[in-house]
Amino acid sequence: MSAKRFSASDLLSLVELEISVLKRYYSHSNVTNSLSLIYFRLPEKNEGYEEAFERILRHTDAIVEEGEHIVALLFGTNKTGASKLLSGIQEF
């Protein structure tokens, strides 16, 4: 599955939307109610890295790309999960 791509101008709207969904549907539930953001920079020689990262993320995740910088919005992912994902990306 792959993450959905959005432009940098959509970042604030995406975060607001995800927070609204969490408040409306998950505030009184035992289901996870987390939203995490990770930020990373692509290597200078971008050899298909962005497509690889997009594929390893879930279809519920969103990618915002600004040049060589990427922000991934991870719906239903807590701090630990986001940290593990970011560590894996950095090792890649």
CA dihedral angle for residue 26, residue 31, residue 83, residue 44, rounded to 10 degrees = -60
* pLDDT computed for residue 29 by the predictor: 66
Whether residue 46 is predicted with pLDDT greater than 70 in this model: the reply is no
Please give the CATH number for the structural domain made up of 4-91.
3.30.70.270
Cα 39 from Cα 72, distance rounded (Å)? 6
Per residue in 5-39, pLDDT tens?
Answer: 888 999 999 999 888 888 888 777 665 678 899 99
The reply to whether the predicted model has a pTM over 0.75 is yes
What residue segments make up the domains of the chain, in order of their start?
A: 4-91
Per residue in 64-78, pLDDT tens?
Answer: 988 888 899 998 888
